[in-house]
Amino acid sequence: MSPEPANCPVCGAAAERLRAAPRGYRYTCPSCGTFQISSRALSCRPGLPASAREDIRRLRAYGHLPLLELTRDGVSISPGRP
């Protein structure tokens, strides 16, 4: 499967995304880098927390692939799988 153009849900820049298992997408953004986001978290746009960008940057600095998911408390950002 090849990447498709899509705007980054975090910063709005022109980015690419791939479908990622089990549900959701893996975005590659020139500004935010690579991260995964679930379909549900994506559909809650523009409900992403203002801190999302910084959280993604911090997790990536530690070598993680950040995962944005929708939980009962809103969108959470976890380290995900490397």
Reference 43, options 61, 63, 23, 58; nearest CA is 23
Among residues 10 and 59, whose Cβ is nearest to Zn ion? 10
Of residues 17-76, those binding Zn ion (CB under 5 A) = 29, 31-32
Maximal C-alpha separation, the chain: 33
Q: How far apart are CA 69 and CA 72, in angstroms?
A: 10
Length of the chain: 82
Q: Do the strands 4-7 and 33-37 form a parallel or antiparallel pair, or are they unpaired?
A: unpaired
Q: Which stretch binds Zn ion (CB under 5 A): 8-16, 35-43, 44-52, 67-75?
A: 8-16
Among residues 13 and 19, whose Cβ is nearest to Zn ion? 13
* Distance of closest approach, residue 72 Cβ to Zn ion, in angstroms: 26
Among residues 32 and 59, whose Cβ is nearest to Zn ion? 32
Q: Which residues bind Zn ion (CB under 5 A)?
A: 8, 10-11, 13, 29, 31-32
